[in-house]
Amino acid sequence: MTLLLSNDEVDGLLQMPDCIDAMEQALRAFGDRRAGNAGRCEILTATDRPDALYSLMSMNGVVPDLGVAAVRINSDILTWPASERGIKRVKVPSAPNGRYVGLVLLFSTATGEPLAIYPDGVVQRMRTGATSGLAAKYLARTNASVAALLGTGWQAGSQAMAICAVRGIERIHCFSPRQDGRQAFAAEMSAKLGIEVSAAATAREAVRGADVVLCATNSMQPILPADWLEPGMHVSSLKRLELDPSVVAAADRVITHSRNADAPAQIIRTDGADLARDSDLEKAALARAIDEDALPTLADIVLGRAAGRAHDRDITLFLNHTGLGYQFAATGALIYRRAMERGVGRKLDTDWFTSALPS
């Protein structure tokens, strides 16, 4: 049968340390050319609403070592509202019951069959967190104990989980512009992680003295000036625009998740789809900042093909700006194995999703 899982079920099955292990195994396979990633494929078209676009996005990955292939699909209504902090890309939950449409389809590389279908909400942030965690495992000082977390949204939670999974973190100082938001996040994560998570009054205060600085905002403006960096820090970033180019220049070692050349994105905009400005801004910022295609990748580090941290005083920087399909295959293998072990999920007839006809 084919398993149908909900976000809540996926959440109960995925533990961050397991995710980091699975991600490492998949990334090794990718680096050794046993696994394959396709870049993000996105089509943007106009809609009946002048302020919205429709976006169909897919991202594929195959990891035979884990026995699975994954297709992640997003079908979204997107808007770009202006705020005082810039223009942001915002998904509008327009599906019935005010819901979002993001799916992962998991297939067997041994038989081709569909193993599982589940929403991408939980896994989307777990895979991002696990990738940052894997980078920190290889790049952060082994005695790192204090982390700063800039951003207290959905992605920030998994960044906190991930750093705690790979280092003996004792305290996290978090910051985001809204006081109530950062305080609620601090309380929630303290309880969840069992360590001290406190809300700092400013970003400067959060960063000062930290061993690891995790940037997890969707800011359109740089949030971390280079003169806040301290010797020995490990920094990671989820969005290009949140990172000032001077930070890149100041780091001793800069590692990217993936070179664009390894899995080039294919972005197609039809006429009328010119609202998609954040991509343009991101690209421009990237061009200003650094050529990521010239950097060593996380796979290079994990496989020992590029040098990571050489000294305790080095400043290391990990650019987690690009998603890859292998991340969904790695987490998918884990979700499927755990779900089968525990009997979780709705069992659908696999014949529903297969065919007696070739095609």
Subset of 311-340 contacting a copy of itself (CB under 8 A): 325
Q: Among candidates 264, 329, 334, 306, which has minimal Cα distance to 17?
A: 334
Q: In terms of DSSP bridges, do strands 234-237 and 316-319 run parallel, antiparallel, or are they unpaired?
A: parallel
The residue among 6 and 145 lying less far from a copy of itself, judged by its C-beta, is: 6
Site for a copy of itself in 137-156 (CB under 8 A): 154
Is the Cβ of residue 60 or residue 256 nearer to a copy of itself in the bound state?
A: 60
- Here the tokens at position 116 are 């599982």
Taking the alpha carbons of 219, 222, 227, 229 in that order, is the dihedral positive or negative?
Answer: positive
Going by C-beta distance under 8 Å and a sequence separation of 6 or more, which residues neighbour residue 112? none
Residues binding a copy of itself: what is the number (CB under 8 A)? 79
Task: Tell me if 330 sits within 8 A of 104, measured CB to CB.
Answer: no
Answer yes or no whether residue 112 interacts with a copy of itself by CB under 8 A. Answer: yes
Nearest to 319 by CA among 286, 341, 274: 286
Q: Please pick, from the candidates 50, 82, 97, 227, the single residue that binds a copy of itself as defined by CB under 8 A.
A: 97
Tell which positions 25-84 bind a copy of itself, by CB under 8 A. Answer: 32-39, 41, 43-48, 54, 56, 58, 60-62, 64, 69, 71, 73-77
Using the rule CB under 8 A, give the single segment among 156-164, 181-189, 258-266, 312-320 that binds a copy of itself: 258-266
Tokens of 160: 């906190």
In the bound complex, what is the minimum distance in angstroms from residue 55's beta carbon to a copy of itself?
A: 8
Instruction: Name the residue among 173, 170, 212, 174 with its Cα closest to residue 195.
Output: 170
Distance CA 5, CA 13 (A): 10
Cα 276 to Cα 253: distance, rounded to the nearest angstrom: 32
Contact between 124 and a copy of itself (CB under 8 A)? yes
Residue for token pair 């081709």: 112
Judge whether 264 and 240 are in contact, CB under 8 Å. no
- Distance of closest approach, residue 335 Cβ to a copy of itself, in angstroms: 15
Rounded to a whole number of angstroms, the minimum distance from the CB of residue 44 to a copy of itself is 7
Three-class SS state of 68: strand
Q: How far is the CB of 1 from a copy of itself (least distance, A)?
A: 9
Distance of closest approach, residue 16 Cβ to a copy of itself, in angstroms: 17
Output the six-digit token pair for 237. Answer: 């970033």
Backbone angles phi, psi at 182, to 5 degrees: -70, -30
Q: Which is nearer to a copy of itself, 227 or 349 (CB)?
A: 349
Q: Closest CB to a copy of itself among 38 and 135? A: 38
Structure letter (DSSP) for residue 95: B
How large is the C-alpha radius of gyration of the chain? 20
> Does residue number 164 form part of the binding site for a copy of itself (CB under 8 A)?
no
Binding residue for a copy of itself, selected from 100, 190, 193, 314, defined by CB under 8 A? 100
CB of 216 to a copy of itself, least distance (A): 15
Instruction: Give the residue with the Cβ less far from a copy of itself, 158 or 316.
Output: 158
3-state DSSP assignment of residue 356: coil
Q: Binders of a copy of itself among 262-301, rule CB under 8 A?
A: 263-264, 266, 268-272
CB 190 → a copy of itself: shortest distance, Å? 22
Q: State yes or no: residue 209 binds a copy of itself (CB under 8 A).
A: no
Q: For a copy of itself, which is the closer residue by CB, 107 or 138?
A: 107
Q: Which is nearer to a copy of itself, 39 or 308 (CB)?
A: 39
Q: How far is the CB of 121 from a copy of itself (least distance, A)?
A: 3
Query: Structure tokens of 284?
Result: 């421009």
Q: How far apart are CA 35 and CA 27, in angstroms?
A: 8
229 is a site residue for a copy of itself (CB under 8 A): no
**For residue 203, which amino acid is it?**
A
Nearest-approach distance from CB 100 to a copy of itself, in angstroms? 5
Task: Indicate the residue among 83 and 355 with the shorter CB distance to a copy of itself.
Answer: 355
